[in-house]
Amino acid sequence: MVNEPHPWVAWADNLQRWGLAQPLAVLLEALGPFRWLVAQFLYGSLPLFTTPSTSSQWQAILRVLEDETAHREFINLLLEESRQ
């Protein structure tokens, strides 16, 4: 598991391929303090949407929403990928 790439890299690649990296970066910026509310809603919804195999993906999404540093790093990754 140590050699697995961070899930953000795969997300950024897919979002770039679909042309959604820039719009998502703008949306994440616009959410601002509402990120916390979205994260709380997702925490409450996790039992409905997750399976053991997808739990780590959801945890990574929640980290992006809750942690300011992770939030900024993911946005930078999206914007970096969209320039390539």
Judged on CB neighbours under 10 Å (0-12, 13-18, 19+), 28 is: middle
pLDDT score recorded for residue 5:
64
What's this model's pTM, rounded to 2 decimal places?
A: 0.79
Whether 22 shows a pLDDT value over 50: the answer reads yes
Q: Which helix (H) or strand (E) holds 77?
A: helix 68-83
Instruction: Give the residue among 27, 36, 37 at the shortest CA–CA distance from 74.
Output: 27
Largest Cα separation within the chain, whole Å, is 37
Whether 73 shows a pLDDT value over 80: the answer reads yes
